[in-house]
Amino acid sequence: MTILKLKIKILALGKIKEKYLRSGIDEFLKRLKPYAQINVVEITPIEIKDENLKDKILLQEGEKILSNIKPTDFVITMEIRGKEFSSEEFAAKIEELTNSGTQEIIFVIGSSYGIGENVSQRANLKMSMSKMTFLHEFARLILIEQLYRSFKIIKGEIYHK
């Protein structure tokens, strides 16, 4: 099986400001290079100054997100009420998508307010990292580390537990 053809795009609202998080993300992106082509697209969030406008603004952000998604992409949104996976189950899902001929997987990480309903409706899979709440910057690091772990599992390579 050739996983190298798989493309993964992470659409994330906001930039990583903390140096230690950027360092961790960069390290795992470097480790992922032998396994998949990974592209992180940072989308500028719209500042929400009035809570009453939150849903409207999330839809506007959603339009920015959706403009980065092709009809053939398999979209996985990170959502609180999404499906939870163990690392092994997540690896099996990545392998299943690869074997089914999926050419690009898109992961969407929203802002601290979440994602718009328009993006959620486009999702092929809604995924939750945990019942716990994480800063969206942490979510990016955790997702990228879990992608790396998935490829190690798929390839049968050793990675610490």
- What are the structural domain ranges in the chain? 7-155
Judged on CB neighbours under 10 Å (0-12, 13-18, 19+), 91 is buried
pTM of the model: 0.92
Are 73 and 105 a contacting pair, CB within 8 Å? yes
Average pLDDT of the residues in 47-72:
93
pLDDT at site 160: 62
Q: Collect all residues with Cβ–Cβ distance below 8 Å to 110 and sequence separation of at least 6.
A: 13, 58, 61, 77, 78, 119, 136
pLDDT at site 25: 97
Cα angle vertex 144, ends 47, 128, to 5°? 70
Q: Is the pLDDT of residue 86 over 80?
A: yes
pLDDT at site 1: 43
- What does CATH list as the number for 7-155? 3.40.1280.10
Are 143 and 10 a contacting pair, CB within 8 Å? yes
Average pLDDT of the residues in 72-84:
95
> What percentage of the chain has pLDDT greater than the value 90?
78
pLDDT at site 5: 65
Average pLDDT of the residues in 104-131:
94
